[in-house]
Structure 1
Amino acid sequence: MKTIGLIRGMNWKSSLEYYPIINEEVNKKLGEMHSAKCILYSIDFDEVEQYQRN
């Protein structure tokens, strides 16, 4: 299985939506004990907002 990289959305709550979906699909295809190999990269969106203001 390949490792996927995920960059989270605008806030941490969005990860709560797509992370389970990814793992449910892996379960369907590979079996109950499998989960996605992934790296989740998270930034503090406040920093992005500050750059946008400036």
Structure 2
Amino acid sequence: MGVFQTLSNLNGNYLIPKRNTSSKRDVLKRMDDDDQEVAVGPASVHVEAGSHPM
């Protein structure tokens, strides 16, 4: 949580890896079909000390 908060305070951009699932493979296939290389979407990190939008 502290790392996410520090990056947010510094207006830093960061990537978070995601497990490879069948739904993710479907999205990657559609991106490939549409000739897209990057997908960005909003989410939140929830931990015991609080949450952080990303």
Superposition TM-score, scaled by structure 1 size: 0.28
Between structures 1 and 2, the one with greater helix share: 1
* TM-score, normalised with respect to structure 2: 0.28
> Whose relative contact order is higher, 1 or 2, with alpha carbons under 8 Å and at least 6 apart?
1
